[in-house]
Amino acid sequence: MILILAYSAVILSFASGLLALVMNQRLFLLDWFEKSSADNERLASCLGEKQFSSLVQKAVFMLLGLSGVFAVLAGLSVLISQGVVTDQLSLGLPWLPWHVRFDCLSGFFFLIVGIAVSAVSLYGPGYVKSYTDSQHPFAVLGLFTGLFVSGMLLVLLADDAFFFMIAWELMSVASYFLVAFQHEHAANRRAAFIYLLMAEVGALAIILGFGVLASFSEGFTFDALRQVQLSANWASIAFVLALLGFGMKAGIVPVHVWLPEAHPVAPSHISALMSGVMLKVALYGLIRFCFDLLGEVHWQWGVVLLILGTISALGGILYAMMQPNLKRLLAYSSVENIGIIFMVLGLAMIFMANGHPQLAALGFLAALLHAFNHALFKNLLFLGAGMIHHQTHQLNIDLMGGLIRKMPKTSVLFLIGCMSISSLPLFNGFVSEWLAFQTALQVDVLDNGVLRSLIPVAAASLALTAALAAACFVKVFGMIFLGQSRSHHCDNAREIQDKGMLAGSGLLAGLCFLFGIFPGLIINLINKVSGQLLGASLPNDAALGWLWLAPVSANQASYAPPLVLTGALIAGCISFWYLRRNPATVIRHAETWDCGFGGLTPKMQYSCSAFTMPFRRIFNKVWIIDERIDKDLRGAMNQDVAAVHYHLEVNDHSWPLLYEPIERGVNTTATIVGRIQTGNIRTYLGYSFATLILMLWVIS
Partner 1 sequence: MNWLIAILQTILFVALSPLLAGWVKCCKCWLQNRKAPSIFQPYRDLLKLTYKQPVVSEQASWLFIKAPYVIFSATVLAATVVPLIAVDLPTSASADVIVMVGFFAFARFFLALAGLDIGTAFGGMGSSREMTISSLAEPAMLMAIFTLTMTASTTNLSLAIAHVLNEGLILRPSFVFALSALILVAVAETGRIPVDNPSTHLELTMIHEAMILEYSGRHLALIEWASQLKLMLYGVLIANIFFPWGIAQSFNPQDLAYGLMAIMAKLAVLAIVLAISETLVAKMRLFRVQEYLSFAYLLGLLGMLSHIILEASR
Partner 2 sequence: MNIEQLDFYTQAILSMAALVGLTSFLMLGQGRLLRLIFVFALQGFLLTLTTALAAYSLDNPHLYISAVLTLVLKVIFIPWMLRRQVLHMNMHRDIEALKNNTFVMLGGASLMVFSYYVLHPVVQSSSAVMLNALAVSLSVMLLGMLLMISHRQAIAHVVGFMSIENGLFFAAIVATNGMPMVVELGVAFDVLVAAVLFGIFFLHIRTSIDTLDVDMLNRLHEVDK
Partner 3 sequence: MIAAYLVLLIPLIGIVYFTLAGHKTDTGKLNIKFNGICLLATIWLAVNVLNQGRIISSNEAFLIDPFNVYLIVLTAFVGFTTSIFSSPYMAHEKEIGKLSDQRLKLYYSMFQGFMLAMYLVLTTNNMGIMWVAMEGATLATVLLVSLYRTPESIEAAWKYFILCGVGIAQALFGTILLYYAAVQIGDGENALLWSVLYENADKLNPEILEIAFVFLLIGYGTKIGLVPLHNWLPDAHSEGPTPMSAVLSGLLLNDALYAVVRNKMLVDGATGSNMAGFLMMGFGLLSFLVAAILLHRQKDIKRLFSYSSIEHMGLMTFAFGIGGPLATFAALLHMTVHSLTKSAIFVTVGHAAQLAGTQKIDQIRGLIKTQPRIGWGLLIGTIAIAGFPPFGVFTSEFLVLLATMHSYPWLAPLLLLDIGIAFAGLFRHIQPMVYGIPPKDQQAIKANLWPVIIHLALVLWLGLAIPDFLANWFSQATLLISGSTPL
Report the residue from 37, 39, 41, 90 that binds partner 3 according to the rule CB under 8 A.
90
Beta carbon of residue 24, minimum distance to partner 3 (angstroms, whole number):
9
What is the dihedral sign for C-alpha 177, 179, 185, 189?
A: negative
Distance from the Cα of residue 606 to its chain's centroid = 30
Q: Does the protein bind partner 1 through residue 356 (CB under 8 A)?
A: no
Q: Are 399 and 488 in contact (CB under 8 A)?
A: no
* Binding to partner 3, residues 130-149 (CB under 8 A): 134, 137
Between 220 and 414, CB nearer to partner 3: 220
Q: How far apart are CA 505 and CA 120, in angstroms?
A: 8
Q: How far apart are CA 111 and CA 281, in angstroms?
A: 12
H-run or E-run covering 650: strand 640-651
* Residue type, position 680, single letter: N
Of the listed pieces 160-168, 272-280, 285-293, 463-471, which binds partner 3 according to CB under 8 A? 160-168
Q: Does the protein bind partner 3 through residue 27 (CB under 8 A)?
A: no
Q: Does the protein bind partner 2 through residue 667 (CB under 8 A)?
A: no
H-run or E-run covering 221: none
Of the listed pieces 102-110, 399-407, 602-610, 684-692, which binds partner 2 according to CB under 8 A? 684-692
User: What single DSSP character describes residue 657?
Assistant: I
Beta bridge partners of 633: 641
Q: How far apart are CA 226 and CA 292, in angstroms?
A: 7
* Binding to partner 1, residues 507-546 (CB under 8 A): 544
| Other CB atoms within 10 Å distance of the CB of residue 621 | 8
For 310-324, the DSSP string reads HHHHHHHHHHHHH--
* Binding to partner 1, residues 410-429 (CB under 8 A): 415, 419, 422-426
Between 286 and 369, CB nearer to partner 1: 369
Q: Does the protein bind partner 1 through residue 450 (CB under 8 A)?
A: no
Contacted entry of partner 2, partner 3, partner 1, none for residue 669, CB cut-off 5 to 8 Å set by kind: partner 3
Beta carbon of residue 94, minimum distance to partner 3 (angstroms, whole number):
4
Q: Does the protein bind partner 1 through residue 471 (CB under 8 A)?
A: yes
Of the listed pieces 134-142, 557-565, 568-576, 687-695, which binds partner 2 according to CB under 8 A? 687-695
* Residue type, position 249, single letter: K
Burial category of 655 from C-beta neighbours within 10 Å (exposed 0-12, middle 13-18, buried 19 and up)? middle
Contacted entry of partner 3, partner 2, partner 1, none for residue 186, CB cut-off 5 to 8 Å set by kind: partner 3
What's the residue count for the chain? 700
Angle at 568 between CA 564 and CA 573, to 5 degrees: 150
Per rule CB under 8 A, count of chain residues that contact partner 2:
20
Q: Does the protein bind partner 3 through residue 150 (CB under 8 A)?
A: no
Beta bridge partners of 630: 645
Q: Does the protein bind partner 3 through residue 587 (CB under 8 A)?
A: no
Contacted entry of partner 1, partner 2, partner 3, none for residue 668, CB cut-off 5 to 8 Å set by kind: none
Q: How far apart are CA 220 and CA 224, in angstroms?
A: 6
Of the listed pieces 65-73, 304-312, 652-660, 679-687, which binds partner 2 according to CB under 8 A? 679-687
Q: How far apart are CA 565 and CA 572, in angstroms?
A: 10
Distance from the Cα of residue 391 to its chain's centroid = 24
328 Rama sector, left if φ>0, alpha if ψ -120 to 50, beta otherwise? alpha
Beta carbon of residue 212, minimum distance to partner 3 (angstroms, whole number):
7
Contacted entry of partner 3, partner 1, partner 2, none for residue 214, CB cut-off 5 to 8 Å set by kind: partner 3
Peptide bond into 254 cis (omega under 30): yes
Q: Does the protein bind partner 3 through residue 92 (CB under 8 A)?
A: yes
CA distances from 253 to 162, 258, 332, 336, 342 (A): 28, 11, 10, 9, 11
Report the residue from 12, 214, 259, 400 that binds partner 3 according to the rule CB under 8 A.
214
φ and ψ at 472, to 5 degrees? -60, -45
Dihedral Cα 617, 619, 623, 629, nearest 10 deg: 0
Between 4 and 544, CB nearer to partner 1: 544
Q: Are 501 and 127 in contact (CB under 8 A)?
A: yes
Report the residue from 43, 197, 445, 571 that binds partner 3 according to the rule CB under 8 A.
197
Q: Are 512 and 416 in contact (CB under 8 A)?
A: yes
Sketch the per residue contact string, 626 through 665, with partner 2: x for CB under 8 A, - otherwise: ----------------------------------------
Of the listed pieces 29-37, 67-75, 528-536, 674-682, which binds partner 2 according to CB under 8 A? 674-682
Between 202 and 309, CB nearer to partner 3: 202
Between 248 and 279, CB nearer to partner 3: 248
Which residues contact partner 2 by CB under 8 A? Answer: 671, 674-682, 685-686, 688-689, 692-693, 696-697, 699-700
Which residues contact partner 3 by CB under 8 A? Answer: 90-95, 134, 137, 162, 165-166, 168-170, 172-173, 180, 183-184, 186, 189, 192-193, 196-197, 200-201, 204-205, 207-208, 211-212, 214-215, 220, 666-667, 669-671, 673-674, 676-677, 681, 684-685, 687-688, 691-692, 695-696, 699-700
